[in-house]
Amino acid sequence: MNADQRPFPFDPDDDPTARLLRRALAEEAEMIQPRKGLDEITRRVEHEHRGRRLAPWLAGIAVAAVAGVVAGVVLTGDNSGQQAGPPAGQPAASAPASTEPPAAATTAPSPGATKTAPTSAAPAAELTGVPVYYLGQSKTRFWLYREFRTVPENGGYVESAIRAMTELKPLDPDYSSPWKPASSVKVTQSGKSLAVDLSADAFSGANVGSEVAGLAIQQLVYTATAAASEAGTPADTVTVTVDGKPSDVWGAVRVGEPTARADLVDVQAPTWVTSPQEGETLKAGTVKFTGYGTAFEATFAWEVRGRGGDVVAQGNTMGGSMGTYGEFAFSATLEPGEYTVEVYQPDMSNGESTEGPRMFPDTKDFTVK
């Protein structure tokens, strides 16, 4: 571009005012802070030149120059003209928080935990806290115990509980069940009477014997009536049929008539730890334990052992007495680790009990973190 094409036919190098202004701007650029503006620069220049006034077009150049310097300081912190990162020792500016929910975790769930369905399909419906009964054995006989489980929803609360009873293994390895997975479970209710029809495969397998067969029917009756109560539709009796008709099951028990719950003292475990459940994880510190049972003079003994078998806490607690069931509770201060709690009834008969010195024990393995 020649001199005649310049928008302003003027050489700033020949003007002393322009030279002074450039020097002032250069000095200002070295120490300028973003919070200082054009007014401050102009005031200093005017003071230096004792009232010399800038030509309107030169004031415009000064405004643009100062704006560029300020922008350069704000964006780069130096004269390089490139956008720089944060100074050493200072974090970069954070991006705005996303309003979208975080992606679901992809780690595999622990055993017994609720499984997350793929995002491309609707999650399967599940029911939590469903009461399911199992069998457990002391030294002399079998008893009923209960676990609260998370189960798939299948046709209704009671039907889901019964299906889970035939399909799910107990959490506690000391418990068992003679039932096999039922390919068909149908439940109807009329008033306080439940009708449960099962497919024959639920009773398949070896002959379980009359004691276990009778208790297994009570296992079903207790599970069905407990689930009905949880669902808000209490029931007093359960009529069990096989493929729509009365039948002899396991070669030992006849079903097809309304059956009520047997008395607790006849079927339910005399000692039963209700919390924690098997495999549960608890917070370190004061750990609370609860249970249910009936004992001579209501006396229950308890101890907590580490995985190596060392006793870390022990004591006694009071529950139900002489055939009347009642709750018991106790606590222990525990550090992180793996533990077993055992509750039992001490033999008060001077060794005459066939159950041994620790009568009707129930144990639970748990973790403290």
234 in a structural domain: yes
| Residue 346 pLDDT level (bands cut at 50, 70, 90) | very high
Q: Coil, helix or strand for 265?
A: helix
Of residues 214 and 55, more confidence is placed in 214
Q: What pLDDT is attached to residue 52?
A: 40
Would the pLDDT of 92 be above 90?
A: no
Mean predicted confidence (pLDDT) in 180-191: 97
Query: What is the model's pLDDT at position 43?
Result: 52
State the pLDDT at residue 206. 74
At 15, is the pLDDT very low, low, confident or very high (cuts 50, 70, 90)?
Answer: low
Q: What DSSP string describes 158-173?
A: HHHHHHHHHHPPPSST
User: Can you give the pLDDT at residue 351?
Assistant: 80
pLDDT at 85 over 80: no
Residue 368 DSSP code: E
Q: Do 260 and 300 sit in the same domain of this protein? A: no
Residue 213 domain flag = yes
The DSSP 8-state label assigned to residue 112 in this structure reads T
- Of 63-67, 151-155, 318-322, 358-362, the range with the lowest mean pLDDT is 63-67
Q: What pLDDT, on a 0 to 100 scale, did the predictor assign at position 54?
A: 38
Q: Is residue 99 part of a domain?
A: no
Residues 296 and 344 in one domain: yes
Same domain, 255 and 362: no
Residue 106 has pLDDT above 90, yes or no: no
Q: Could you give the CA distance from residue 120 to residue 186 in angstroms, rounded to a whole number?
A: 31
> Residue 187 has what pLDDT?
97
Sequence-distant (6+) residues with CB within 8 A of 189 are 158, 195, 228, 233, 235
Mean pLDDT value across residues 237-249? 97
* pLDDT above 70: residue 93: no
Query: Among the listed ranges 13-17, 48-52, 257-261, 296-300, which one has the minimum average pLDDT value?
Result: 48-52
Residues 165 and 259 in one domain: yes
304 and 208 together in one domain? no
Residue 16 confidence (pLDDT): 52
Give the model's confidence band at 352: pLDDT under 50 very low, under 70 low, under 90 confident, else very high: confident
Is the pLDDT score of 215 beyond 50?
yes
Binning pLDDT at 50, 70 and 90, where does residue 353 land?
A: confident
Assess whether 139 and 18 both reside in one domain: no
Per-residue model confidence (pLDDT) at position 154: 87
Q: Is residue 104 part of a domain?
A: no
Claim to verify: residue 301 and residue 226 sit in the same structural domain:
no
Cα-based angle 31, 65, 26 (whole degrees, multiple of 5): 35
336 forms beta bridges with none
pLDDT, the chain, mean = 78
* pLDDT interval class at 205 (50, 70, 90): confident
| % of the chain exceeding 70 in pLDDT | 66
pLDDT at 25: 55
pLDDT of 212 reads: 96
Q: Is residue 163 part of a domain?
A: yes
Instruction: Please report the pLDDT score of residue 197 as a whole number.
Output: 98
Cα distance between the two ends of the chain = 78
Beta strands 258-260 and 185-190: pairing type?
A: unpaired
Q: How far is it, in rounded angstroms, from Cα 6 to Cα 10?
A: 8
Structural domain containing residue 132: 126-267
Same domain, 197 and 324: no
Residue 118: is its pLDDT beyond 70?
no
Using the 3D structure, point to which of 39, 58, 75 is the last residue of a domain.
Answer: 75
Instruction: DSSP letter for 116, please.
Output: P
Asked whether residue 259 falls in the same domain as residue 308, the answer is no
Same domain as 219, residue 280: no
Residue 309 gets the label, from left (phi > 0), alpha (psi -120 to 50) or beta, of left
Q: Locate tokens 């701007």: which residue? A: 25
Among the three residues 42, 58, 75, which one is the final residue of a domain in this structure?
Answer: 75
278 close to 171: Cβ distance less than 8 angstroms: yes
Q: Is residue 121 part of a domain?
A: no
Residues 141 and 60 in one domain: no
Higher-confidence position of 64 and 352: 352
**Residue with token string 């996303």:** 98
Residue ending a domain, among 267, 299, 334, is: 267
- Per-residue pLDDT for 216 more than 90? yes
Q: Are residues 221 and 302 in the same domain?
A: no
21-40 pLDDT, tens digit per residue, is 555 554 554 444 444 444 54
Sheet bearing 185-190, strands edge to edge? 185-190, 193-198, 237-242, 258-260
Q: Is residue 239 part of a domain?
A: yes
Q: What is the pLDDT of residue 193?
A: 98
Q: Which helix (H) or strand (E) holds 304?
A: strand 299-306
Q: Is the pLDDT of residue 180 over 60?
A: yes
Residues 6+ apart with CB under 8 A from 166: 177, 179, 180, 181, 182, 185, 198, 202
Confidence class for position 259, pLDDT limits 50, 70, 90:
very high
Structural domain count, the chain: 3
